[in-house]
Structure 1
Amino acid sequence: MLSGRRYLLDLSPGQEEMCEEFGDICRSVWNTALEQRREYRRRGAWMNYAPQCAELADAKREHPWLKAAPSHALQQTLKDLDRACPAYTSQRCSACGFVTEGNRESQAVFRCKAPGCGHRDHADVNAAKNIKAAGHAVSACGDLGTSRSAKQEPVSRATGRTPSQGNPRAAAQGGSQIPGRPTSTG
Protein backbone atom coordinates (compact mmCIF):
# COMPACT_ATOMS: atom_id res chain seq x y z
CA MET A 1 0.00 0.00 0.00
CA LEU A 2 1.24 3.46 -0.85
CA SER A 3 1.40 6.05 1.88
CA GLY A 4 1.70 9.78 1.46
CA ARG A 5 3.62 12.30 3.45
CA ARG A 6 2.97 15.98 3.84
CA TYR A 7 5.75 18.48 4.31
CA LEU A 8 5.72 22.19 5.00
CA LEU A 9 8.26 24.04 2.90
CA ASP A 10 9.80 26.82 4.96
CA LEU A 11 11.72 29.13 2.63
CA SER A 12 14.02 31.97 3.51
CA PRO A 13 13.13 35.32 1.89
CA GLY A 14 15.88 34.78 -0.72
CA GLN A 15 14.63 31.29 -1.54
CA GLU A 16 11.06 32.56 -1.73
CA GLU A 17 12.11 35.27 -4.20
CA MET A 18 14.03 32.72 -6.29
CA CYS A 19 11.03 30.36 -6.41
CA GLU A 20 8.78 33.23 -7.45
CA GLU A 21 11.21 34.16 -10.22
CA PHE A 22 11.37 30.55 -11.44
CA GLY A 23 7.57 30.44 -11.44
CA ASP A 24 7.39 33.70 -13.41
CA ILE A 25 9.85 32.39 -15.99
CA CYS A 26 8.02 29.05 -16.29
CA ARG A 27 4.71 30.90 -16.72
CA SER A 28 6.25 33.00 -19.49
CA VAL A 29 7.58 29.85 -21.21
CA TRP A 30 4.13 28.20 -20.88
CA ASN A 31 2.32 31.19 -22.44
CA THR A 32 4.87 31.61 -25.23
CA ALA A 33 4.85 27.89 -26.06
CA LEU A 34 1.05 27.78 -26.06
CA GLU A 35 0.86 30.80 -28.37
CA GLN A 36 3.44 29.18 -30.67
CA ARG A 37 1.35 25.99 -30.81
CA ARG A 38 -1.78 27.97 -31.62
CA GLU A 39 0.02 29.81 -34.41
CA TYR A 40 1.28 26.53 -35.89
CA ARG A 41 -2.23 25.08 -35.73
CA ARG A 42 -3.65 28.11 -37.56
CA ARG A 43 -1.23 27.33 -40.39
CA GLY A 44 -2.14 23.64 -40.39
CA ALA A 45 1.16 22.50 -38.85
CA TRP A 46 1.86 20.85 -35.52
CA MET A 47 4.16 21.75 -32.61
CA ASN A 48 4.72 19.87 -29.36
CA TYR A 49 7.26 19.20 -26.61
CA ALA A 50 10.18 17.82 -28.65
CA PRO A 51 10.71 20.70 -31.11
CA GLN A 52 9.94 23.34 -28.48
CA CYS A 53 12.40 21.78 -26.06
CA ALA A 54 15.05 21.84 -28.78
CA GLU A 55 14.37 25.57 -29.25
CA LEU A 56 14.98 26.34 -25.55
CA ALA A 57 18.76 26.63 -26.01
CA ASP A 58 18.31 29.22 -28.78
CA ALA A 59 15.71 31.05 -26.69
CA LYS A 60 18.15 31.25 -23.77
CA ARG A 61 20.73 32.88 -26.05
CA GLU A 62 18.15 35.40 -27.32
CA HIS A 63 16.59 36.10 -23.91
CA PRO A 64 19.19 36.04 -21.11
CA TRP A 65 16.52 36.21 -18.37
CA LEU A 66 15.57 32.60 -19.25
CA LYS A 67 18.98 31.48 -17.93
CA ALA A 68 17.88 32.30 -14.37
CA ALA A 69 15.61 29.22 -14.26
CA PRO A 70 16.99 25.66 -14.35
CA SER A 71 16.64 24.00 -17.75
CA HIS A 72 14.84 20.99 -16.28
CA ALA A 73 12.14 23.29 -14.86
CA LEU A 74 11.58 24.86 -18.28
CA GLN A 75 11.50 21.44 -19.94
CA GLN A 76 8.99 20.22 -17.35
CA THR A 77 6.82 23.25 -18.13
CA LEU A 78 6.71 22.16 -21.78
CA LYS A 79 5.89 18.57 -20.75
CA ASP A 80 3.07 19.86 -18.55
CA LEU A 81 1.76 21.90 -21.47
CA ASP A 82 1.76 18.76 -23.61
CA ARG A 83 -0.40 17.03 -21.01
CA ALA A 84 -2.75 19.98 -20.54
CA CYS A 85 -2.98 21.16 -24.14
CA PRO A 86 -6.56 20.63 -25.29
CA ALA A 87 -5.51 19.08 -28.60
CA TYR A 88 -7.01 15.60 -29.02
CA THR A 89 -8.92 15.79 -25.74
CA SER A 90 -12.11 14.96 -27.61
CA GLN A 91 -10.44 11.91 -29.19
CA ARG A 92 -8.79 10.62 -25.97
CA CYS A 93 -10.80 8.28 -23.78
CA SER A 94 -11.17 9.75 -20.30
CA ALA A 95 -11.47 6.22 -18.88
CA CYS A 96 -8.45 4.45 -20.43
CA GLY A 97 -6.46 7.14 -22.29
CA PHE A 98 -6.70 5.49 -25.73
CA VAL A 99 -6.52 8.08 -28.56
CA THR A 100 -7.85 7.61 -32.06
CA GLU A 101 -9.87 9.71 -34.44
CA GLY A 102 -12.47 6.93 -34.54
CA ASN A 103 -13.33 7.41 -30.84
CA ARG A 104 -15.30 10.52 -31.78
CA GLU A 105 -18.17 9.12 -33.81
CA SER A 106 -19.90 12.47 -34.31
CA GLN A 107 -19.92 16.00 -32.94
CA ALA A 108 -21.72 14.78 -29.82
CA VAL A 109 -20.98 11.04 -29.51
CA PHE A 110 -17.80 9.59 -27.98
CA ARG A 111 -17.25 5.83 -27.90
CA CYS A 112 -13.84 4.35 -27.06
CA LYS A 113 -12.57 1.85 -29.63
CA ALA A 114 -9.90 0.37 -27.34
CA PRO A 115 -10.28 -3.37 -26.86
CA GLY A 116 -11.92 -4.05 -23.53
CA CYS A 117 -12.91 -0.44 -22.80
CA GLY A 118 -16.01 0.64 -24.73
CA HIS A 119 -16.46 3.81 -22.61
CA ARG A 120 -19.33 6.02 -23.89
CA ASP A 121 -19.99 9.67 -23.14
CA HIS A 122 -20.98 12.95 -24.74
CA ALA A 123 -17.88 14.04 -26.69
CA ASP A 124 -17.66 17.44 -25.01
CA VAL A 125 -18.07 15.93 -21.54
CA ASN A 126 -15.32 13.42 -22.31
CA ALA A 127 -13.03 16.26 -23.50
CA ALA A 128 -13.80 18.29 -20.37
CA LYS A 129 -12.86 15.32 -18.18
CA ASN A 130 -9.54 15.00 -20.04
CA ILE A 131 -8.78 18.70 -19.66
CA LYS A 132 -9.63 18.62 -15.97
CA ALA A 133 -7.48 15.52 -15.45
CA ALA A 134 -4.57 17.17 -17.22
CA GLY A 135 -4.69 20.15 -14.91
CA HIS A 136 -5.66 22.73 -17.48
CA ALA A 137 -6.19 25.29 -14.72
CA VAL A 138 -3.52 27.77 -15.81
CA SER A 139 -4.94 30.58 -17.86
CA ALA A 140 -3.20 30.89 -21.21
CA CYS A 141 -3.87 34.59 -21.43
CA GLY A 142 -5.44 37.33 -19.44
CA ASP A 143 -5.20 37.78 -15.72
CA LEU A 144 -4.11 35.20 -13.18
CA GLY A 145 -6.04 36.87 -10.39
CA THR A 146 -3.13 39.13 -9.52
CA SER A 147 -2.39 42.69 -10.44
CA ARG A 148 -0.15 41.82 -13.37
CA SER A 149 -0.54 40.26 -16.78
CA ALA A 150 0.31 36.60 -17.31
CA LYS A 151 2.35 37.46 -20.39
CA GLN A 152 4.64 39.95 -18.70
CA GLU A 153 8.34 39.24 -18.64
CA PRO A 154 9.56 38.29 -15.17
CA VAL A 155 11.73 40.56 -13.07
CA SER A 156 15.32 39.39 -12.82
CA ARG A 157 16.46 38.52 -9.31
CA ALA A 158 19.97 39.61 -10.23
CA THR A 159 19.12 43.07 -11.56
CA GLY A 160 15.61 43.68 -10.23
CA ARG A 161 14.51 44.75 -13.72
CA THR A 162 12.65 43.25 -16.65
CA PRO A 163 14.60 42.92 -19.90
CA SER A 164 12.58 45.77 -21.43
CA GLN A 165 13.66 48.16 -18.68
CA GLY A 166 16.88 48.80 -20.54
CA ASN A 167 14.58 50.69 -22.94
CA PRO A 168 14.54 54.46 -22.20
CA ARG A 169 10.79 54.56 -22.77
CA ALA A 170 10.27 51.93 -20.04
CA ALA A 171 12.51 53.90 -17.69
CA ALA A 172 10.50 57.07 -18.40
CA GLN A 173 7.36 55.26 -17.26
CA GLY A 174 8.80 55.05 -13.79
CA GLY A 175 10.45 51.81 -12.80
CA SER A 176 9.23 48.32 -12.24
CA GLN A 177 6.89 46.66 -14.71
CA ILE A 178 5.50 44.46 -11.92
CA PRO A 179 3.59 46.29 -9.17
CA GLY A 180 5.04 45.81 -5.72
CA ARG A 181 8.51 44.81 -6.97
CA PRO A 182 10.96 47.71 -6.88
CA THR A 183 13.73 48.04 -9.40
CA SER A 184 17.30 48.43 -8.30
CA THR A 185 19.18 51.55 -9.26
CA GLY A 186 22.40 49.87 -10.11
Structure 2
Amino acid sequence: MQTRRITMAFSCSPKLIGKVYTCYGVVAVPLEVYNHAQVGSLWNWLTTPYIVIITLGLIAGVGLWLFKRGAIERTVTLGGWTESLYRRGRGPFLAVTLGMGLLIYTALSAELANIYVERGMAYGEAFGRYFIENVWQLLVMFHLAIERYTAFLQYDRSPEASRRMVLPPFRSFRR
Protein backbone atom coordinates (compact mmCIF):
# COMPACT_ATOMS: atom_id res chain seq x y z
CA MET A 1 0.00 0.00 0.00
CA GLN A 2 1.43 3.32 -1.04
CA THR A 3 1.02 6.30 1.25
CA ARG A 4 0.21 9.73 -0.02
CA ARG A 5 2.93 12.27 0.62
CA ILE A 6 2.01 15.86 1.29
CA THR A 7 4.45 18.76 1.44
CA MET A 8 3.31 21.27 4.04
CA ALA A 9 4.66 24.80 4.37
CA PHE A 10 4.56 26.38 7.80
CA SER A 11 6.00 29.42 9.53
CA CYS A 12 8.12 29.15 12.64
CA SER A 13 10.69 30.92 14.76
CA PRO A 14 14.20 31.00 13.28
CA LYS A 15 15.88 30.46 16.65
CA LEU A 16 15.91 26.64 16.67
CA ILE A 17 17.25 26.23 13.13
CA GLY A 18 19.78 28.97 13.88
CA LYS A 19 20.97 26.99 16.90
CA VAL A 20 21.30 23.86 14.73
CA TYR A 21 23.38 25.70 12.12
CA THR A 22 25.52 27.32 14.81
CA CYS A 23 26.19 24.05 16.65
CA TYR A 24 27.03 22.33 13.37
CA GLY A 25 29.43 25.12 12.41
CA VAL A 26 31.06 25.22 15.85
CA VAL A 27 31.76 21.48 15.60
CA ALA A 28 32.58 21.26 11.89
CA VAL A 29 34.84 24.26 11.30
CA PRO A 30 37.57 23.48 13.86
CA LEU A 31 37.34 19.75 13.17
CA GLU A 32 37.80 20.23 9.44
CA VAL A 33 40.59 22.78 9.78
CA TYR A 34 42.46 20.49 12.18
CA ASN A 35 41.77 17.38 10.10
CA HIS A 36 42.96 18.85 6.84
CA ALA A 37 45.97 20.52 8.47
CA GLN A 38 46.99 17.11 9.80
CA VAL A 39 46.66 15.30 6.48
CA GLY A 40 48.26 18.14 4.58
CA SER A 41 45.38 18.98 2.27
CA LEU A 42 44.19 22.28 3.75
CA TRP A 43 44.47 24.09 0.42
CA ASN A 44 42.98 21.28 -1.62
CA TRP A 45 40.52 22.37 -4.33
CA LEU A 46 37.70 20.38 -2.68
CA THR A 47 38.25 21.01 1.01
CA THR A 48 38.83 24.75 0.99
CA PRO A 49 35.39 25.57 -0.48
CA TYR A 50 33.80 23.25 2.09
CA ILE A 51 35.52 25.05 4.97
CA VAL A 52 34.33 28.39 3.52
CA ILE A 53 30.76 27.05 3.16
CA ILE A 54 30.54 25.75 6.73
CA THR A 55 32.01 29.02 8.01
CA LEU A 56 29.29 30.92 6.14
CA GLY A 57 26.74 28.46 7.58
CA LEU A 58 28.04 29.23 11.06
CA ILE A 59 27.67 32.97 10.43
CA ALA A 60 24.16 32.46 9.01
CA GLY A 61 23.23 30.33 12.03
CA VAL A 62 24.34 33.04 14.44
CA GLY A 63 22.38 35.58 12.40
CA LEU A 64 19.21 33.46 12.47
CA TRP A 65 19.59 32.66 16.14
CA LEU A 66 20.40 36.09 17.52
CA PHE A 67 19.31 38.74 15.03
CA LYS A 68 16.37 37.48 12.92
CA ARG A 69 13.12 38.66 14.48
CA GLY A 70 10.37 37.62 12.08
CA ALA A 71 9.08 34.16 11.32
CA ILE A 72 10.63 32.04 8.58
CA GLU A 73 8.85 29.58 6.33
CA ARG A 74 9.89 25.93 6.29
CA THR A 75 8.50 22.86 4.56
CA VAL A 76 8.03 19.33 5.78
CA THR A 77 6.94 16.21 3.90
CA LEU A 78 4.16 14.32 5.62
CA GLY A 79 3.17 10.73 4.91
CA GLY A 80 6.64 9.28 4.39
CA TRP A 81 8.59 6.76 6.42
CA THR A 82 10.49 9.51 8.23
CA GLU A 83 7.28 11.03 9.55
CA SER A 84 5.94 7.68 10.73
CA LEU A 85 9.26 6.97 12.44
CA TYR A 86 9.16 10.41 14.08
CA ARG A 87 5.59 9.79 15.27
CA ARG A 88 6.68 6.55 16.95
CA GLY A 89 9.29 8.33 19.01
CA ARG A 90 11.98 10.96 18.83
CA GLY A 91 14.74 8.74 20.17
CA PRO A 92 14.24 5.97 17.59
CA PHE A 93 13.97 8.60 14.83
CA LEU A 94 17.35 10.09 15.70
CA ALA A 95 18.93 6.66 16.23
CA VAL A 96 17.73 5.30 12.88
CA THR A 97 18.49 8.39 10.78
CA LEU A 98 21.93 8.95 12.33
CA GLY A 99 22.65 5.22 12.09
CA MET A 100 21.66 5.19 8.43
CA GLY A 101 23.97 8.13 7.78
CA LEU A 102 26.85 6.29 9.45
CA LEU A 103 26.08 3.08 7.55
CA ILE A 104 25.91 4.85 4.18
CA TYR A 105 29.14 6.73 4.90
CA THR A 106 30.94 3.54 5.97
CA ALA A 107 29.79 1.68 2.84
CA LEU A 108 30.81 4.62 0.65
CA SER A 109 34.19 4.79 2.37
CA ALA A 110 34.72 1.05 1.93
CA GLU A 111 34.04 1.32 -1.78
CA LEU A 112 35.98 4.50 -2.45
CA ALA A 113 38.99 3.49 -0.33
CA ASN A 114 40.28 1.69 -3.42
CA ILE A 115 41.23 5.13 -4.77
CA TYR A 116 43.70 5.62 -1.92
CA VAL A 117 45.39 2.22 -2.17
CA GLU A 118 48.99 2.70 -3.24
CA ARG A 119 51.80 0.19 -3.64
CA GLY A 120 52.70 -1.36 -0.34
CA MET A 121 49.61 0.03 1.42
CA ALA A 122 47.13 -2.28 3.09
CA TYR A 123 43.43 -1.86 2.34
CA GLY A 124 42.67 -1.16 6.01
CA GLU A 125 45.14 1.71 6.04
CA ALA A 126 43.59 3.17 2.88
CA PHE A 127 40.10 2.77 4.35
CA GLY A 128 41.13 4.56 7.55
CA ARG A 129 42.76 7.35 5.59
CA TYR A 130 39.69 7.90 3.41
CA PHE A 131 37.33 7.63 6.40
CA ILE A 132 39.20 10.34 8.33
CA GLU A 133 39.96 12.69 5.43
CA ASN A 134 36.36 12.79 4.23
CA VAL A 135 34.59 12.91 7.58
CA TRP A 136 32.82 16.07 6.36
CA GLN A 137 30.45 13.83 4.40
CA LEU A 138 29.42 12.11 7.64
CA LEU A 139 28.93 15.48 9.32
CA VAL A 140 26.67 16.60 6.46
CA MET A 141 24.54 13.44 6.80
CA PHE A 142 24.22 13.98 10.56
CA HIS A 143 23.33 17.64 10.00
CA LEU A 144 20.58 16.72 7.53
CA ALA A 145 19.10 14.18 9.96
CA ILE A 146 19.01 16.72 12.78
CA GLU A 147 17.59 19.38 10.47
CA ARG A 148 14.78 17.01 9.45
CA TYR A 149 14.13 16.29 13.13
CA THR A 150 13.82 19.99 13.93
CA ALA A 151 11.50 20.47 10.94
CA PHE A 152 9.09 17.88 12.34
CA LEU A 153 9.45 19.33 15.84
CA GLN A 154 8.67 22.86 14.67
CA TYR A 155 5.80 21.65 12.51
CA ASP A 156 4.19 19.95 15.50
CA ARG A 157 4.43 23.21 17.45
CA SER A 158 3.05 25.36 14.61
CA PRO A 159 -0.60 26.37 14.15
CA GLU A 160 -0.58 24.72 10.72
CA ALA A 161 -0.32 21.30 12.37
CA SER A 162 -3.61 21.83 14.16
CA ARG A 163 -5.31 22.88 10.91
CA ARG A 164 -4.81 19.48 9.26
CA MET A 165 -8.00 17.95 8.02
CA VAL A 166 -9.53 15.56 10.54
CA LEU A 167 -12.13 13.14 9.23
CA PRO A 168 -15.31 12.56 11.23
CA PRO A 169 -15.59 9.24 13.07
CA PHE A 170 -16.97 6.25 11.18
CA ARG A 171 -20.72 5.85 11.55
CA SER A 172 -22.00 2.36 11.85
CA PHE A 173 -24.85 0.99 9.79
CA ARG A 174 -27.18 0.50 12.76
CA ARG A 175 -30.75 1.56 12.31
TM-score, structure 1 length as denominator?
Answer: 0.26
The structure whose residues are more often strand, as a share, is 2
TM-score (norm 2): 0.27
Larger helix fraction of residues: 2
With a CA cutoff of 8 Å and minimum separation of 6, indicate the structure with the bigger relative contact order. 2
